[in-house]
């Protein structure tokens, strides 16, 4: 049986591509087995385990001819993919999974293999986990931002243009007022959007155990901006666990305090940009048909704005 015939694309990825990319996504999924075969042949790799999938990529463990362990990451070419490549080159393995090679035509990446079964979420003590994330985050934002990435200024301008329409889609006047408030905060910050290289999605499940370092980040979609805009994924990590023990406010504040301390951020400014991130998330939710703000977003905002 050919290698391509053995590739079974996870249904979660099939559904994600159909939902997010329509006919283009469906066509890409259909060609994925052949693309896997071509990439294995290109780099003279052997398949070395079960394929895994995220929302936008197929990840295949492989072995090189010298026995070196790596992974193939295959995804549709889009703006986020190009940004990831720019960021991976800039970080060059500093706190980040190392890019070994890539195919420009298909955007396929050959990456250092980490332990996909052991994410930072496996660390039970949340104080330990958030400190690991914060220290790793500080290393990532210390790398000078390269050219060619989206700026937080441009992202914010687009959000503010979209916000008035989004407000009208919310059913509850209280939610409408909250969204207006978040937009107002972004308006005050937009003239100083920052210039750091951000990960954009640094949560517990995007930090994996490694060999050359204990923990390394994966799956960046980097823009350039203020690190305060990058805090929400950490604040939201393991949200179900936080809510289940009814300590959401305390945990959010503890995480926020540690993150801002380790990253050396102004707390008021970091609060503002976190509200900006909640605005971005909400605009996407509304675009997908939501008519109410996410309860977790409200909880994060209230924790940061209403302190003892």
Q: What is the pLDDT of residue 306?
A: 86
For the chain, the straight-line distance linking the first and the last C-alpha, in angstroms and rounded, comes to: 65
Q: Choose, from 201, 230, 236, 240, the residue flagged as catalytic.
A: 201
Q: Which CATH architecture is the domain 119-305 placed in?
A: Alpha-Beta Complex (3.90)
- What number is the average pLDDT over the span 92-101? 98
132, pLDDT greater than 50 = yes
- What number is the average pLDDT over the span 261-287? 98
Q: What is the pLDDT of residue 4?
A: 42
pLDDT digits (tens, 9 = 90+) for 66-96: 999 999 999 999 999 999 999 999 999 999 9
Q: Pairing between strand 69-75 and 57-63?
A: antiparallel
Q: What is the pLDDT of residue 6?
A: 67
Please choose, from the candidates 67, 87, 71, 89, the residue with its C-alpha nearest in 3D space to the C-alpha of residue 79.
87
Q: Poorest-confidence range of 50-54, 80-84, 168-172?
A: 50-54
Structural element, H or E, at residue 292: none
pLDDT band at 246 (very low <50, low <70, confident <90, very high): confident
Give the 3-state secondary structure of residue 247: coil
137, pLDDT greater than 70 = yes
Segments making up each domain of the chain, as ranges: 3-113, 119-305
242, pLDDT greater than 90 = no
- What number is the average pLDDT over the span 287-292? 97
Active site residue 201: yes
Q: What is the pLDDT of residue 178?
A: 98
Q: Which CATH architecture is the domain 3-113 placed in?
A: 2-Layer Sandwich (3.30)
Reported pTM: 0.95
Is-same-fold flag (3-113; 119-305)?
A: no
């Amino acid at each position: 049986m050919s290698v391509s015939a053995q590739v079974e694309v996870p249904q979660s990825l099939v559904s994600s591509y159909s939902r997010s990319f329509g006919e283009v996504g469906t066509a890409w999924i259909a060609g994925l087995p052949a693309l896997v075969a071509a990439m294995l042949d290109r780099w003279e790799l052997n398949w070395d385990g079960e394929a895994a999938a995220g929302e936008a990529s197929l990840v295949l463990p492989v072995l090189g001819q010298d026995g070196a362990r790596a992974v193939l990451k295959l995804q549709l070419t889009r703006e986020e993919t190009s940004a990831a490549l720019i960021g991976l080159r800039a970080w060059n393995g500093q706190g980040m999974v190392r890019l070994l090679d890539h195919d420009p035509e298909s955007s396929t990446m050959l990456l250092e293999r980490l332990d996909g079964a052991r994410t930072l979420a496996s660390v039970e003590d949340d104080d330990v986990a958030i400190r690991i994330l914060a220290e790793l985050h500080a290393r990532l934002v210390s790398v000078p931002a390269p050219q060619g990435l989206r700026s937080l200024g441009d992202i914010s301008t687009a959000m503010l243009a979209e916000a008035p329409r989004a407000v009208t889609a919310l059913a509850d006047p209280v939610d409408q007022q909250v969204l207006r408030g978040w937009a107002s905060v972004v308006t005050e910050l937009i003239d100083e959007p920052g210039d750091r290289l951000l990960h954009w999605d640094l949560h517990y499940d995007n930090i994996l155990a490694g060999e050359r370092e204990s923990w390394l980040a994966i799956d960046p979609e980097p823009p350039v901006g203020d690190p305060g805009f990058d805090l929400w994924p950490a604040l939201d990590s393991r949200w179900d666990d936080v809510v289940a023990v009814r300590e959401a406010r305390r945990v959010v504040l503890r995480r926020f305090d540690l993150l801002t301390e380790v990253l050396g951020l102004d707390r008021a400014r970091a609060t503002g940009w976190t509200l900006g991130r909640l605005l971005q998330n909400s605009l996407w939710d509304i675009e997908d048909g939501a008519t109410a703000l996410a309860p977790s977003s409200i909880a994060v905002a209230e924790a940061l704005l209403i302190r003892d």
